[in-house]
């Protein structure tokens, strides 16, 4: 019994489902074909009067909208308020712009004030510098005047000193000349007395002696084993000394002395001399020395230092070459 009702219930449920599906399918078909819409369904649910009223309301003419007076007044107030707000905003913008301009003007004024203060400081510094320059000019003028006066006094003192030295030089020269005559009389023994003097003193005595006797004393000085360098020192002093204050006279004096000496003896005197000094001496020797001895001296110089000998030869040739003015004459 229970199985029968269960089967019956299942059958009815299946029939209901089939009918429901069939109804939904029919509705979907009608909607797809356009037959199922609000216009087609409206006669089924509304009466004829209701449908006529809906048609009349749908086709009625438009009615003007009535604006109440209170709305107009509100609109005017709103416009006035908007205008007031716009004016306030513009005024605020103007005030902001004026404030910014004022701040810029203030900054510009501060900058100008700073520049004015710097200008005043620079002006004061320039005036102070000008005063310092003027003070320095006065000091320099006073110093220049003092120097001129001192120079004049110094020149006068120098003139007096030169005059006094000339007198002393003449007296001293006469004394040296007398002593030189005495050494000439002593012959070779004079070197034993001269060797106790300084090279400068010996050079002064030799410069006042007879050239032949002076050259003999130079040979003795070169042979002195106790003072091996005294001969070269005497030679250097004789290059510097100028008894007559004429300049250049000792070159000729040495050339005369060397003309009486062997070539190998002359070479030792020329070791510490400059190439120009050697060239001047050899050129001066041309007037009182045989060519053979000069050739021997040049050969000895070449063996000692060929480059130095070539420099000396070049200087000798340059000294022999006449000047352009002399050649034209």
What string of H, E and C letters represents the secondary structure of 269-301?
HCCCCCHHHHHHHHHHHCCCCCHHHHHHHHHHH
- pLDDT at 150 > cutoff 80: no
Establish if 106 belongs to a structural domain.
yes
Establish if 273 belongs to a structural domain.
yes
pLDDT of residue 73: 63
pLDDT of residue 66: 58
| pLDDT digits 0-9 by tens, 120-137 | 888 888 888 888 888 888
Number of domains within the chain? 2
Mean pLDDT estimate for the chain:
76
Of 243, 260, 254, 244, the closest CA to residue 279 belongs to: 254
- pLDDT at 328 > cutoff 50: no
Establish if 207 belongs to a structural domain.
no
Establish if 196 belongs to a structural domain.
no
Establish if 268 belongs to a structural domain.
yes
Rounded mean pLDDT, 139-156: 76
Establish if 288 belongs to a structural domain.
yes
Give me the domain span that covers residue 101: 91-120
Q: How far apart are the C-alpha atoms of 214 and 220, rounded to whole Å?
A: 10
Beta carbons within 8 Å of 188's beta carbon, 6+ residues apart: 216, 217, 220
- pLDDT at 104 > cutoff 60: yes
- pLDDT at 4 > cutoff 50: yes
Establish if 9 belongs to a structural domain.
no
| pLDDT digits 0-9 by tens, 19-33 | 888 877 877 776 676
Confidence of residue 164 (pLDDT cuts 50, 70, 90): low
- pTM for this entry: 0.34
Q: What is the largest CA-CA distance in the chain?
A: 194
- pLDDT at 68 > cutoff 60: no
Establish if 274 belongs to a structural domain.
yes
Of 214, 181, 221, the closest CA to residue 197 belongs to: 221
Rounded mean pLDDT, 72-100: 76
């Amino acid at each position: 019994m229970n199985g029968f009702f269960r089967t019956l219930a299942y059958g009815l449920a299946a029939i209901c489902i089939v009918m429901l599906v069939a109804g939904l399918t029919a509705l979907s078909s009608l909607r797809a074909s356009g037959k199922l819409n609000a216009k087609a369904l409206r006669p089924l649910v509304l009466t004829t009067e209701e449908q006529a009223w809906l048609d009349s309301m749908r086709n009625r003419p438009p009615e003007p909208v009535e604006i109440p007076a209170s709305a107009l007044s509100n609109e005017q107030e709103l416009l006035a308020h908007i205008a007031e707000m716009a004016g306030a905003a513009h005024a605020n913008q103007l005030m902001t712009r004026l404030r910014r301009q004022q701040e810029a003007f203030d900054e510009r004024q501060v900058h100008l004030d700073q520049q004015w203060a710097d200008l005043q400081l620079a002006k004061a510094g320039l005036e102070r510098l000008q005063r310092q320059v003027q003070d320095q000019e006065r000091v320099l003028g006073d110093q220049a005047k003092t120097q001129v006066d001192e120079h004049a006094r110094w020149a006068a003192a120098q003139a007096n000193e030169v005059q006094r030295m000339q007198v002393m030089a003449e007296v001293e020269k006469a004394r040296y000349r007398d002593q030189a005559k005495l050494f000439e009389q002593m012959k070779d023994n004079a070197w034993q007395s001269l060797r106790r003097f300084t090279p400068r003193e010996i050079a002064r005595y030799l410069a006042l002696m007879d050239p032949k006797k002076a050259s003999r004393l130079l040979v003795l000085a070169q042979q002195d084993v106790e003072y091996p360098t005294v001969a070269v020192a005497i030679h250097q002093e004789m290059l510097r000394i100028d008894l007559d204050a004429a300049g250049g006279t000792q070159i000729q004096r040495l050339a005369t002395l060397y003309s009486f000496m062997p070539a190998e003896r002359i070479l030792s005197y020329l070791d510490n001399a400059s190439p120009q000094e050697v060239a001047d001496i050899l050129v001066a020797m041309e007037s009182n020395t045989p060519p053979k001895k000069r050739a021997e001296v040049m050969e000895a110089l070449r063996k000692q230092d060929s480059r130095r000998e070539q420099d000396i030869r070049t200087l000798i040739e340059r000294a022999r070459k006449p000047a352009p003015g002399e050649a034209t004459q």
